[in-house]
Structure 1
Amino acid sequence: MMHIAGKIILVFLLFLQVPAHVWAEEQKGVEKEITSFLHKLFEERTRLLSQHRPDSIEPFYLPKEKVSRFALQQEQRRAKYLHTWAEKRGVTFTESSGSIRIVRIKPRGDTAQVFLVHTLKLTYRYLGQSQKLHSFGVGTRHSIKLKKVQGTWHVAREWYSDPIEENPHTIPSDSAKQPSKTYSSQSDTQEQTVSARKKRFNREKAVQYANKYAGAAWGAGNNNRYNPKYLDYHYNGGDCTNFASQVIGDPEEGGGLPMRGGWYYRYKQGGSTSWVQTDALKHFLIYSGYGRQVAKGRYADIIKPTASHPQGALSRLQPGDLIGYELDGDIDHFSIVVGRDSNGYVLVNSHTGDRYQVPWDLGWDKYTTFVLIHIND
């Protein structure tokens, strides 16, 4: 035992003799090596989304290790979902690009913990409409554990909240290849013909706010940062409802709906339950008269023509309105309608994960119940 203790003390003393600047240079070298690996990793993963070659990212992982293999399969499944969704919507992805912002690298011998933000841009076109392209953005925050094996870094484990992770086999396909027949600019036309009376809700400013503060998603403003005036609930249940409330209620840059009752935000303190929680916000909007539920149902239910909605309930939504995504009876997420693409397909913004002008159903499946909420002017 004394012999072992002596060795430990000797190693410690030798470590103390290593000049600080030498150790610092070694750390810089490791971080530079890891940074290079991360850029190559995300370049290849981004390319996978438009070129769909699943085996292209395998060298960055450790397939024999269960957790690393799971991370690899998640990326491959993500790409498959995206391509399957595109096929069912009658579009094709023409380009994918992105960038990363490394927040922190913590090397520990042959492992390292990394925290970074990924900004992704995806571009698609409708089949037969080669000149009309639409680009949208997605932003994600990643916690990655790296492991060095045989002199090469690999992804050992990864976690992030992915806006487009879903089972490719559960994508609804009802009327999917004729989106122009299902989605129209009916709501936009109605909006243009409304009288010029002063309104309680400013739709134009709401959309501007949603675009400016869409976070890490490509296309967003404010240097891809959230509005610093508000707390970030990303790691405290998600920030989507907080963002939706900001969009419709911020008095300076947003839609300007007056805070009242149980719906409010106290700066530097945080938001009320109705401000930050999904179901609570829905109930407040409906019962306060600030909003009304246009329709509720699965994908097929809200796009099909009915007596009440000849062009489908979804066509009634205007920029600045909300879509709730319900799973197992509870609203899981909120997004804000910000416009339509060239074929009339509804586009949305949100937080957690960050979305900028993303097709409204991307990342959801046939089991999702969509709650369409119109904000009353």
Structure 2
Amino acid sequence: MLRIRKLQLLCMILILIPASSFSLFRAQAEPAKQDNVVPFLQELFADRTRLLMDQDKKHIKDHYLLTDKRSNYAYLHEMNRAEYIQEWAKHRNLKIVNAESSIRIARAEVLGDTAKVSLVQSLKLSYEYLDNYPGQHDFGIGTRHGITLKKKDNRWYVEREWYSDPLEENSKKIQKSDLFFTPHKDAATPERVIHKYNRARAVDYANKYAGTTWGAGNGQRYNQKYLDYNSRGGDCTNFSSQVIGDKEEGGGLPMKSGWHYLYGNGGSQAWVQTDAFKNFLIRSGYGRIIGQGSFSDIVQSVNERQQHLDKPQLLPGDLIAYVLNGDVDHFSVVVGFDQSGYPLVNSHTADRFKVPFDLGWDKNTKYLLIHIHD
């Protein structure tokens, strides 16, 4: 799968940047501070955040060596992601009204005219609807970065950069739709009634352990009881399994039938692998597919179920699977709905907090709505 192959290319970076290391701001190499690396990085990410608002290349072009192939590639990547998010907003009848970010540096080492940096960016984005539904919705994205800087003429430039970017999509391939969600009839948090599946607690878990993104709890760290699978191809399924299955803080579904986690050793295939997890949910009876298809199909399915409350609804604590070329590529957890009824999700790899569920995906993506039985 394309996204998994991309993630595997990031393994060396992610191994060097464990999630726990992001709980502190620390530039380990003192020379990095003396050589103005940290101020440059703060300025770079502030300017890239401004770029997301207006796509004006003047914000960032002076931070790159545009005649260098690798540096120019990194520059074009930032321009493309800014174009993508603005195009996505346009197609969803939204306007991005605010962008803020912070960085936390795990490692920064300088050797001559080269600096190598590992850091995390916590990004907060806000949008409003153009016509209806007054109010602003805030969501967060967390990304881990490996950056090489080059000094030229006594100033730093980005020479190359790697990160798992949830906005790395072609703006021309966004799924267009004339359909829009209708306000969800139960936009509040799920009622705290204890069934086999503790839905409210599952949502609390998803919000607490969403990771490096703005909005997450636990000091923006993963739950240290579980291994971090980012360096092994992705942590999204491991996180979804935790949300529904953690007996102390999560949904509390009992481990069974090959779906289990051995603390200190790791999860079974059904616990950590996308297709195996999907198959387990359906075969075990824990979950049921209540909608599938393109973005437009999902809008129609969610809206129709709002009109027929006798049918299972998509609720906070349910899951969404993302299918590419017939294989499940990603899982996210539904944690609520925005003003218009747009489903919002949390996930790992990259870390997301209350993000509109299709942001970062394109017209080739198919979705499975999986309702977890209470």
Partner of 2:33: 31
Q: Secondary structure at the match of 2:231?
A: coil
1-side partners of 2:361 and 2:48: how far apart? Answer: 21
> Unaligned stretches of 5+ in structure 1?
1-26
1-side partners of 2:308 and 2:299: how far apart? Answer: 4
Q: Secondary structure at the match of 1:238?
A: coil
Partner of 2:100: 97
Q: Secondary structure at the match of 2:271?
A: helix
1-side partners of 2:267 and 2:316: how far apart? Answer: 24
Partner of 1:236: 232
2-side partners of 1:140 and 1:305: how far apart? Answer: 32
2-side partners of 1:40 and 1:307: how far apart? Answer: 44
2-side partners of 1:306 and 1:346: how far apart? Answer: 9
Pick the aligned partner of 1:160 from 160, 163, 171: 163
1:376 equivalent in alignment to 2:373 = yes
Deviations 1:339-358 (A, max 9, x none): 00111111000000000000
2-side partners of 1:295 and 1:279: how far apart? Answer: 17
Structure 1 residues 112 and 305, CA, compared in 2 at 3 Å: closer, same or farther?
Answer: closer
* Shift, 1:305, TM fit: 5.6
* Shift, 1:312, TM fit: 10
Partner of 1:71: 74
1:223 equivalent in alignment to 2:223 = no
Check whether the contact 1:183–1:346 (CA below 8 A) recurs between aligned residues.
no
Structure 2 letter corresponding to 1:185: H
2-side partners of 1:319 and 1:334: how far apart? Answer: 14
Partner of 1:111: 114
Check whether the contact 2:142–2:212 (CA below 8 A) recurs between aligned residues.
yes
Partner of 2:16: none
Pick the aligned partner of 1:84 from 84, 87, 93: 87
2-side partners of 1:375 and 1:91: how far apart? Answer: 30
Deviations 1:208-240 (A, max 9, x none): 000000001100000100011110011111000
Pick the aligned partner of 1:145 from 135, 145, 148: 148
Normalised TM-score (structure 2) = 0.87
Deviations 1:61-99 (A, max 9, x none): 111011111110000000000000111111111110010
* Shift, 1:128, TM fit: 3.5
Pick the aligned partner of 1:359 from 356, 361, 373: 356
Deviations 1:229-268 (A, max 9, x none): 1100111110000000000000000000001110001111
Structure 1 residues 305 and 272, CA, compared in 2 at 3 Å: closer, same or farther?
Answer: closer
* Shift, 1:152, TM fit: 1.1
Structure 2 letter corresponding to 1:352: T
Higher relative contact order (CA 8 A, sep 6+): 2
2-side partners of 1:260 and 1:315: how far apart? Answer: 24
Normalised TM-score (structure 1) = 0.86
Check whether the contact 1:186–1:315 (CA below 8 A) recurs between aligned residues.
no
1:345 equivalent in alignment to 2:342 = yes
**Aligned-residue RMSD, C-alpha:** 2.4
Check whether the contact 1:117–1:141 (CA below 8 A) recurs between aligned residues.
yes
Say which one has the larger Rg.
Answer: 1
2-side partners of 1:141 and 1:199: how far apart? Answer: 37
Check whether the contact 2:71–2:158 (CA below 8 A) recurs between aligned residues.
yes
Structure 1 residues 125 and 165, CA, compared in 2 at 3 Å: closer, same or farther?
Answer: same
2-side partners of 1:258 and 1:303: how far apart? Answer: 32
Q: Percent identity?
A: 52
* Shift, 1:316, TM fit: 2.9
Structure 2 letter corresponding to 1:338: V
